[in-house]
Amino acid sequence: MNFLRPIGRVAISFLEATGRLALFTFRGVSHCVRPPFFPRLILRQMIDIGYFSLPVVGMTAIFTGMVLALQSYSGFARFNAESAVATVVVLSITRELGPVLAGLMVAGRIGASIAAEIGTMRVTEQVDALTTLSTNPVKYLVAPRLIAGTLMLPCLVLIADIIGVFGGYLISVFKLDFNATNYLQLTWEFLKPMDVISGLVKAAVFGFIVTLMGCYHGYNSRGGAQGVGRATTNAVVSASMLILAANYVLTSIFFGD
Amino acid sequence: MTGAQKITLKGVAKAFGDKHVLAGLDLDVPAGQSTVIIGGSGSGKSVTLKCILGLIRPDAGTITIDGEDVTDLSRSQKEEVNRRIGMLFQSGALFDSLSVVDNVAFGLIQGKRIARREAQAIALDKLAQVGLGREVADLSPDELSGGMRKRVGLARAIATDPEIIFFDEPTTGLDPIMGAVIDELIVKTVKEMGATALSITHDMASVRRIGDRVAMLHDGKIIWNGAVAEIDQSGNEHVDQFIHGRAEGPIKMGVRA
């Protein structure tokens, strides 16, 4: 029966980790909605997550839009459906690629830095110091980041949507010789509010996931520099995985039927 | 024992996995005096402090402060208790996202809800009390030397005029002269405030300077407890070995400990 033991051990540690994460999430969210709030900290995180991620997310969006236009053109040209390029670009960007790619880029940028910062604070006893100064570390460190991430990612994605569509437009008009007015018209024609809204809801969820994973792994990091390094890696990897999984769930909720 | 015990630990036990760090620890910390816990590395000194602060929940035993049982308090009740406690961390544990003066003012602003401007004025006073002038107030903690970090940490610990102050290895990492300077500051501030001090250290020179009473922690228990003047005539082999720093004796330091 010995071969069952490792299986049991893996199952138990998985359940343990799930339970710990669930409790942490509950604590984090409950501090988001209960005063006192820290407006200065929230604002600083919003600037860090929103404003300073713009270049990365913008670059990702513009190249993705350009590639989409090229690829869909070369595909659709085979059966004379070139006019679908604009629709394909705008729907792919707003529904899927905008939120998912922005989420993944922010996971790399913000998830990692949150995990490293809180992890370093943990191993240098700064988290304990907060407690001794009568400040709840979850309220002070975790809640502002969760709020900022959930609010700022939709803003980022809205901008990414516009930049992405613009990237597709650039390629279509200047390389593939589409008529500019015609292209923009086609972009608008089949776009429904729900396409954009679903993307923004996804973005809010991804923003929550990224900041939660950063905080969770940083907060629970142990063992010096190596522990912080591990926390950072785990934060990025788990956030990326959860984003992709959550994306499927959300897509099936929005567009499943 | 007299009735004036500030902190009392009875039968406190804590294990991490199968490693029993504290195994039924009993200790009385008399009010208005300076008690020092000595013991080898890994003997559970830090865990003892963290149990009293509520950072770690003991597996068994009770901890009382001013006769009030603080062992099983909720987080918010613990915050209330911690308002009466200040702590100087081994490495200072200064918040590196805040300036020196904001670090010292932190407990006043967050814990005692004093207005920022007023709190900073008090913080400057406290900095002056530990021998630091206005010129360091706006520096970031990473611009400070080890000795200055300890001073700022001390100023932060005493900023809220706590009744109890914990010192975690106050002289570790400092040169002998700076160690003596910090000890002198500790003695001076504790006397001035009439506070109860509980320190942990393995620096015997420091023990003789800051301690009124000494308790030796070994194998998770207090094996000797007495006035600092009696330490050379303790008649306890463990204490003798420790204060003279002999490799041979009843205490076996595990190489892997």
pLDDT digits (tens, 9 = 90+) for B38-63: 988 778 888 898 898 888 888 988 99
Q: Which of B95, B116, B198 to mutate against chain A (most A CBs within 10 Å)?
A: B95
pLDDT for res A109: 94
Alpha helices (H) along A3-142 = 4-33, 39-46, 54-76, 85-91, 98-106, 112-123, 126-132, 137
Q: Could you say which residues from 103 to 122 on chain A have a Cβ atom under 8 Å away from some Cβ of chain B?
A: 121
Per the prediction, chain B carries an average pLDDT of 86
Q: What confidence tens digit (pLDDT) does each residue in B84-138 have?
A: 899 999 888 999 889 999 999 999 988 788 888 999 999 999 898 888 888 998 9
User: What is the three-class DSSP state of A157?
Assistant: helix
Q: What percent of chain B has pLDDT over 70?
A: 97
List of chain A residues whose C-beta atoms are within 8 Å of the C-beta of residue B80: 134
* Cβ atoms of residues B24 and B51 within 8 Å: no
Q: Give the chain B residue whose CA is nearest to the CA of A41.
A: B97
B197 found inside a domain: yes
Query: Shortest CA distance to A88 belongs to which of A194, A183, A225, A224?
Result: A183
More confident residue, B110 or A49: A49
Q: Is the pLDDT assigned to residue B247 strictly greater than 70?
A: yes
User: What is the three-class DSSP state of B30?
Assistant: strand
List of chain B residues whose C-beta atoms are within 8 Å of the C-beta of residue A136: 75, 79
pLDDT for res B147: 85
List of chain A residues whose C-beta atoms are within 8 Å of the C-beta of residue B50: 128
B13-24 mean pLDDT = 87
Give the ipTM. Answer: 0.85
Q: What percent of chain A has pLDDT over 70?
A: 100
Q: Give the chain A residue whose CA is nearest to the CA of B78.
A: A134
pLDDT for res B255: 52
DSSP letters along B54-114, please? Answer: TSS--SEEEEEETTEE-TT--HHHHHHHHTTEEEE-TT----TTS-HHHHHHHIIIIIS--
B102 found inside a domain: no
B62 found inside a domain: yes
Domain boundaries, chain A: 37-255
B154 found inside a domain: no
List of chain B residues whose C-beta atoms are within 8 Å of the C-beta of residue A134: 79-80, 82-83, 107, 110-112
pLDDT for res B177: 86
- The domain of B223 spans 5-84+162-244
pLDDT for res B254: 60
* Cβ atoms of residues A246 and A129 within 8 Å: no
The beta-carbon neighbor of A132 closest among B82, B95, B96 is B82
* Cβ atoms of residues B14 and B56 within 8 Å: yes
The domain tally of chain B equals 1
Q: Which of A43, A133, A145, A219 to mutate against chain B (most B CBs within 10 Å)?
A: A133
Distance from CA of A223 to the nearest CA of B (A): 15
Distance from CA of A138 to the nearest CA of B (A): 11
Q: Residue A138 — pLDDT band, cuts 50, 70, 90?
A: very high
Q: What percent of chain B has pLDDT over 90?
A: 19
Partners of residue A30 on adjacent β-strands? none
Query: 10 Å Cβ neighbour count for B243?
Result: 18
pLDDT for res A201: 96
Which CATH number characterizes residue B195's domain? 3.40.50.300
Q: Is the pLDDT assigned to residue A42 strictly greater than 90?
A: yes
